[in-house]
Amino acid sequence: MGKRPGTVRERLLETADRLFYATGIHAVGIDRVIAESGVAKSTMYVHFRTKEELVAAYLRRRSDVMRARVTGEAEARAQEPVEERVLAVFDVLDEVISEPGFRGCAFANAAAEYPHHADVQAAIAYDRTWLPALLSGLLHVDGGDELVAALVQVYDGANAAAHLDRSATAARTARKTAELLLSTRRPASSTA
């Protein structure tokens, strides 16, 4: 077991992330999260009044981690052509898919388990904004751009195929598809 995060909230979120993602949200009771995080029940309820509040926080945290990871990789390629910066999205996805315990998209999984809960749906919606925004910014286009929408769908499809088909090559195939899509775009009037 690794080093425990410093704050009670961080411990709860790390434990929830590990358990909810690996096992499924409904399959994990709040008592298990409390026990495995080493936090008192009363302390847990100071930070999260309900399990669903914890679920929403877990999803937002997971979104922020992935957003930082992808954005960091795109920024690391700042000196490369914009297409390579966009393709960083698929390179990171390939790394994620290859990690032990990969179980598909946490947000698709949560949407299936909580199709009507407002807080959980809001956390899912929060996640659905960062990738189109990142791609729009890199490509210098509006958020409703068809190329951006197509790239997001390719990303989503690779994530689903990696899980459902147990495809270790889904992100690499998606990257090739993204390369084809990017090759058809007209250059922007300003350079990246």
pLDDT tens digits for range 110-163: 999 999 999 999 999 999 999 999 999 999 998 679 999 999 999 999 999 999
Distance CA 44, CA 93 (A): 33
Other beta carbons within 10 angstroms of residue 138's beta carbon come to 20
The whole-number pLDDT of residue 48 equals: 96
The whole-number pLDDT of residue 142 equals: 80
Distance CA 92, CA 41 (A): 37
In the numeric block, the tokens 């877990």 are attached to 58
Residue 38 has phi, psi (to 5 degrees) of 75, 30
Instruction: Please report which confidence band the pLDDT of residue 187 belongs to, taking 50, 70 and 90 as the band edges.
Output: low
- Token couple for 47: 């930070």
pTM for the structure as a whole: 0.90
Residues 151, 87 contacting (CB under 8 angstroms):
no
Core vs surface per residue 9-28: b (16+ CB within 10 A) or e = bebbbbbbbbbbbeeebeeb
Q: What percent of the chain has pLDDT over 90?
A: 91
Determine the average pLDDT of the residues in 56-74: 98
Distance CA 112, CA 120 (A): 11
Distance CA 163, CA 142 (A): 31
Residue 189 pLDDT greater than 60, yes or no? no
Residues 161, 93 contacting (CB under 8 angstroms):
no
Lowest-pLDDT range of 33-37, 59-63, 99-103, 143-147? 143-147
Lowest-pLDDT range of 53-57, 163-167, 185-189? 185-189
Instruction: Please report which confidence band the pLDDT of residue 6 belongs to, taking 50, 70 and 90 as the band edges.
Output: confident
Residues 61, 17 contacting (CB under 8 angstroms):
yes
Residue scoring higher pLDDT (191 or 120):
120
**137 burial level (CB within 10 Å; 0-12, 13-18, 19+):** middle
